[in-house]
Chains A and B, each alone.
Chain A
């Protein structure tokens, strides 16, 4: 437990440092993403500008087709926009090629997906270690960090279990551990509770609160109101545009 506290403290120190820098984690200017050509052109994103500071907890809401998934893919450096600029942690990534994007994803972003996306037939521990392996973290340090991350999400006794041996809630917590272990600038969750029951949903949201309280920037994309209401800032989207962007009064005093 002392070790967990130490990690959380380290995270806080990091977060405080970036707050002092006054550097936004995400800066998006006039993002446009279009599919198709000519008359059949569809604008999935039609001029989105957005700034998220370090330590924020933001929910992006909207019905299907609103462009929130496209925005998530672009924020997560999984996709490139048609036009516009995107700075992640101060680095412009809108003009990067796929190889550099892969490095950015590994170092700056921790993903949490609706369908967990763990590597099948591979232990929880190895799943958490994997992103660090691609970053070139030494095996010993990698193992330590993975074990700590699994302890933070409460799965210290499940490290050797494969995804099929874990419940949905446990699998999602392995995914959270995997995202946290790389110490990313941004934790990006895409419908993280979509495949979970209400108990697991509550546990996961508590975990997000805890992570955010420790200073980590969290962005959650969801269409569920109760999930969005746990965030401190709610952005609503429709037809590829941001229609509202306000602080959540329930959570921000």
Chain B
């Protein structure tokens, strides 16, 4: 008898047990889909981290108050910490001492709520800075204009806002030229920044930028800077720029050794390495969870095929009694298992592709092509191997024993 005929028998067997077929297929489908989606989420989040870091500019360095390292050691030396100031920032612009530094921007940060009529929003980024910030942080505007050095010297009450903030405050209306109150101070919106997208857990578009002088005069008073953003002349000079700025700040803060340093420098390149290492760990973990669910799906197939063989023992006996050779029975059950896993695998790939189109916890999944082939291939192998054992059991049943089975 032909293979086509046996395939038809297998299809009929699966069709007769529709519910069971559907549930088994579901198991494999979930396994395959979760492998694809979870790896896509892992991949997507690592891509997002890389993108958000490179958005700051790969040429940029960030100087932060406090010692190297975090936590205990940084806090222990807090009493001797000299805060970062505008004067530090200005010192870094010295072209003779720091030839590899292109420009420098101070960052004073605050938390505040902005209000327009009944609309309120708390921007996740509320910075006072000056125009060098735009280039160093890769910030551009889609409409209106930047605030200028003149706005900074005059401490004008003008602001750039991000798209998320604009929508929260003004809805669909054009925000340019409108006024808003942030932390009780009235600002005129002069520019709308371009969409940056979210960076991991923070929305990069929930943004308010004002001149640093305005912030100090009206909101925060004369508080130390949170960061100094430094842009190197190009991506190959970041290390040189880091050395130059360290030397300048060491001299200004009276630092003699690295251990007593009261500031730390974050290099985007090294951050990128750290971040991608941690996101790889994250992806591996997600992949392991997904692989387990695929394995569970495979065990589901074995279980179903075993139950099927036991339940159909008598039927197998009848088939053998009326002349079915061992090979025909073996092939039929093997094909049933293969169809189950093929169907589950295909549906899983479809669900995986569809599921990866949605944003999951702020992460846009990016499908890893290898994961699709891997998940699909493994599901087929699982079907053949895990279905093979019950199939060979079915085929080796002696007809009289199988017929006696009730």
Residues of A within 8 A of B (CB): 73, 76, 78-79, 98-99, 102-103, 105-107, 111, 113, 117-122, 130-131, 133-136, 178, 182
Contact = CB atoms under 8 A, between A and B. Distances in A.
12 contacts: A78-B399, A99-B327, A105-B320, A106-B324, A117-B403, A119-B318, A121-B16, A130-B322, A133-B5, A134-B328, A135-B1, A135-B323
Nearest to A126: B12
Contacts of A105: 320-323
Contacts of A135: 1, 323
Contact of B403 (A102, A107, A113, A130): A113
Contacts of B317: 117
B322 A106 contact: yes
A111 B325 contact: no
Contact of B326 (A76, A102, A113, A119): A102
Nearest to A102: B325
Given A98-B398, A133-B1, 13 more contacts: A78-B400, A98-B326, A102-B326, A105-B320, A105-B322, A105-B323, A130-B322, A131-B323, A133-B9, A134-B1, A134-B322, A134-B325, A135-B323
B319 interface: yes
A136 to B, nearest CB: 5
A107 B322 CA distance: 9
Interface string B302-321: 00000000000011011111
B323 A120 contact: no
A111 B322 contact: yes
Nearest to A98: B326
Contacts of B399: 78
A9 B9 CA distance: 34
Given A73-B400, A78-B403, A121-B16, A130 B325 contact: no
Interface in B282-336: 314-315, 317-328
A180 B138 CA distance: 86
A131 B322 contact: yes
Contact of A178 (B16, B322, B326): B322
Contacts of A131: 322-323
Contacts of B320: 102, 105
Interface of B: 1-2, 5, 9, 12, 16, 314-315, 317-328, 398-400, 403
Contact of A103 (B315, B318, B325, B398): B325
Contacts of B328: 134
Contacts of B2: 136
Contact of B321 (A78, A120, A122, A182): A78
Contacts of B323: 102-103, 105-107, 131, 134-135, 182
A136 B317 CA distance: 19
B379 to A, nearest CB: 28
B3 to A, nearest CB: 12
Contacts of A119: 315, 318-319
Contacts of B326: 98-99, 102
A117 B5 contact: no
A102 B324 contact: yes
A78 B327 CA distance: 17
B400 A111 contact: no
Contacts of A73: 400
A76 B321 contact: yes
B315 A120 contact: yes
A136 B326 CA distance: 15
Q: Which 5 A-B pairs have the closest CB atoms?
A: A106-B323, A131-B322, A102-B325, A134-B323, A117-B318
A113 B402 CA distance: 14
Contacts of A113: 403
Contacts of B314: 117
With a 10 A CB-CB cut-off, give which of A102, A103, A113 has the most chain B CB atoms. Answer: A102
A58 B322 CA distance: 21
Contacts of A120: 315
Nearest to A139: B5
A113 B2 CA distance: 28
A97 to B, nearest CB: 10
B315 A111 contact: no
B400 A79 contact: yes
A48 B25 CA distance: 53
Nearest to B320: A102
A111 to B, nearest CB: 6
A117 to B, nearest CB: 5
Given A78-B403, A98-B326, A117-B403, A111 B5 contact: no
A7 to B, nearest CB: 20
B59 to A, nearest CB: 72
A118 B398 CA distance: 18
Contacts of A133: 1, 5, 9
Contacts of A103: 323, 325
B1 A136 contact: yes
With a 10 A CB-CB cut-off, give which of A117, A131, A133, A135 has the most chain B CB atoms. Answer: A133
B41 to A, nearest CB: 43
B54 to A, nearest CB: 62
A65 to B, nearest CB: 16
A118 B314 CA distance: 10
Contacts of B325: 99, 102-103, 134
A111 B1 contact: no
B299 to A, nearest CB: 27
Nearest to B322: A131
A111 B400 CA distance: 13
Nearest to B318: A117
